[in-house]
Amino acid sequence: MQRHYHLWSIGCQMNMADARTLAARLEALGYAPCPKPEHADVLVLNTCVIRQQAEDKITSMLRHLRPYKAKRPEMTLAVMGCMVGKRELPQLQALFPFVDLFLPPSEPDLLLELLQRRELDAAAGALTKTRTGADEWPVLPASAHGRAITAHVPVVLGCSHACSFCVIPSRRGAERSRPREAILSEARRLADEGVREVTLLGQIVDRYGLDLGGGYELADLLLDVAQLPGLARVRFLTSHPNWVHDRLLEVVASHEKLCPYIELPVQAGNDDILKLMRRVYTVQQFRDLVARVRARLPNAGINTDVIVGFPGETEAQFMDTYRLLEELRLDAIHNAQYSERPGTPAARRLPDDVPAAEKERRWQLIEAQGKRILGEKHAALRGQTVQVLVEGRDSKRDRWFGRSPENKLVYFADARDQLGQVVSVRIDWTGPFTLIGHAAEGA
């Protein structure tokens, strides 16, 4: 009898990559995906706790699922991801006793072992334990759920930094790079399945390889992945301002498959706040870095993250951030209101003292500013031709969509099947978040 799994996932690209890996391993065990959680034999919630809102969502989902689990106790219910910290585990087990397993991020082995054990018990009454090495994880066939054009490949797991607002080091553990061969074989298999673009992922992706020794670093890995047949593009994220070296930028500039796109979280534009955040760079160092990126990659897409309403942030300090963003005119701002995360250094030492309404006002100001700057920057692209890797079809509006190398979202109409192709698109209309055009002559 066919067994089914349902995998619900929220959060960052690393979580998406974890979900894809788990799906692949479940499918290798013979499970098929099913759309309804209540019909699944195995139900996994892949969690995120970066903000209180995300955590609340998972808690309410678990409450909602409780009666289903009571009705079908044979269903295996697992909670995976950043919610499952070592320190939090006893509390989670007490709050949600009906959950069969809690799995830390990127570590689904316990679940797979349990399923295999149950299967073997049922089939032969035997108890056997098999374990697949982390580096031999199967890759979810792109064709299994419609053709995937882009995919994420984790290359650095965990983080050994200690930014004061961040839960990731305590949930995802110390930084560790995956071996080169494991990454290349995963990327190769994805390319064989029709994926055309891979993004190499790490909390600080620029630190790839430093823990392995031997001098093989992110720039080398990017060049090796870019050689793989079938791939049209390679990206990497997320960078940390202290770890972006000139060689990386030069390598990206030297290879046409490496996208001139970088995610550089600044978090704040005031040195005192950066110190409280333990980011270990100054505003001037960040400015210099943006200048270095632009000197080597003149049209690079540069995205950033900003937190407003950090503990103690005054109006003047917030305005420093506002002015920095005005000056740098970056390409996208992931703008977040500070949300106190239990267990972080900031939660232990700094009172969350900026009122909610004030956080909201600051957030709105940055949102409006970002929208205006992007609207102006994109207007300059009208009449220009950009290379778009086509990721899918917007069937409602009968048009294709994809991204430029700089990560701009582009829509265009074309009667031909362009999925997975790189198409030259002439831009006719621009807005702050999208560009619309038509396939240029001869494309």
Stretch that binds ligand SF4, among 154-162, 285-293, 332-340, 430-438 (CB under 6 A): 154-162
Q: State how far the Cα of 240 lies from the Cα of 205, in Å rounded to an integer.
A: 8
Among 169, 342, 345, 392, binds ligand SF4 (CB under 6 A): 169
- Position 82 contacts ligand SF4 (CB under 6 A): no
Nearer to ligand SF4, 188 or 278 (CB): 278
Least distance (Å) between residue 338 CB and ligand SF4: 13
Stretch that binds ligand SF4, among 50-58, 166-174, 229-237, 289-297 (CB under 6 A): 166-174
- In the range 202-221, which residues lie near ligand SF4 by CB under 6 A? 203-204
Nearer to ligand SF4, 349 or 397 (CB): 349
Least distance (Å) between residue 1 CB and ligand SF4: 43
- Position 161 contacts ligand SF4 (CB under 6 A): yes
Least distance (Å) between residue 130 CB and ligand SF4: 33
Stretch that binds ligand SF4, among 162-170, 180-188, 190-198, 283-291 (CB under 6 A): 162-170
DSSP H or E segment with residue 117 = helix 109-124
Distances (CA, A) of 64 to 52, 58, 70: 18, 10, 11
Least distance (Å) between residue 281 CB and ligand SF4: 11
- CB within 8 Å of 1: residues ≥ 6 apart: none
Residue 166: which of 109, 272, 82 has the closest Cα? Answer: 82
Amino acid sitting at position 351: P
User: Residue 298: exposed, middle, or buried by beta-carbon count in 10 A (0-12, 13-18, 19+)?
Assistant: exposed
Rg for the chain, CA atoms, rounded: 23
Nearer to ligand SF4, 4 or 240 (CB): 240
Least distance (Å) between residue 109 CB and ligand SF4: 23
Among 159, 234, 354, 439, binds ligand SF4 (CB under 6 A): 159
| Alpha carbon 98 to chain centroid, angstroms | 30
Nearer to ligand SF4, 156 or 423 (CB): 156
- CB within 8 Å of 48: residues ≥ 6 apart: 10, 11, 12, 15, 54, 55, 58, 81, 82, 83
Among 42, 62, 78, 166, binds ligand SF4 (CB under 6 A): 166
Number of H helices, E strands in the chain: 13, 18
Long-range pairs for 250-254 at CB < 8 Å and ≥24 separation? 250/219, 250/296, 251/219, 251/222, 251/223, 252/219, 252/222, 252/296, 252/297, 253/296, 253/297
- Position 180 contacts ligand SF4 (CB under 6 A): no
Stretch that binds ligand SF4, among 13-21, 142-150, 163-171, 426-434 (CB under 6 A): 163-171
End-to-end CA distance of the chain: 48
Residue 306: which of 169, 165, 172 has the closest Cα? Answer: 165
- Position 240 contacts ligand SF4 (CB under 6 A): yes
- Position 168 contacts ligand SF4 (CB under 6 A): yes
Helix, coil or strand: residue 359: helix
Stretch that binds ligand SF4, among 54-62, 159-167, 224-232, 422-430 (CB under 6 A): 159-167
| Binding-residue total with ligand SF4 (CB under 6 A) | 10
Q: State how far the Cα of 252 lies from the Cα of 235, in Å rounded to an integer.
A: 9
Q: Which residues bind ligand SF4 (CB under 6 A)?
A: 159, 161-163, 166, 168-169, 203-204, 240
